[in-house]
Amino acid sequence: PRSQPADPELVVPDATPTKPARSARGRLRVNVIPWADVRVDGKPFGRAPVDRALPAGRHEVELYNPDIPRRAEHHVVIAADRPFEITHW
């Protein structure tokens, strides 16, 4: 007699609810003299000094003071749960 193929094993996904992943965030701190308007990724971010949360990852930070006039760009990498500080420009 031929043997019957074994029934495939039924796999049931874990029904335990999980919390949605929170995106990792760090902080950008800008404290420069003379003062500067701050833009992050092309969007206004405030006038230095600033201390604000940002998603972790690469960002373009632009500092601008029209009174001097002076402009500087910084390419930064924000780490999760850590501050990144700009104190010179």
pTM of this structure: 0.72
Q: What is the pLDDT of residues 25-53, one digit of tens each?
A: 999 999 999 999 999 999 999 999 999 99
Please, which residues bridge with residue 64 across strands?
Answer: 37, 71
Please, what's the largest Cα pairwise distance for the chain?
95
R_g of the chain computed on alpha carbons: 25
Residues 6+ apart with CB under 8 A from 82: 26, 27
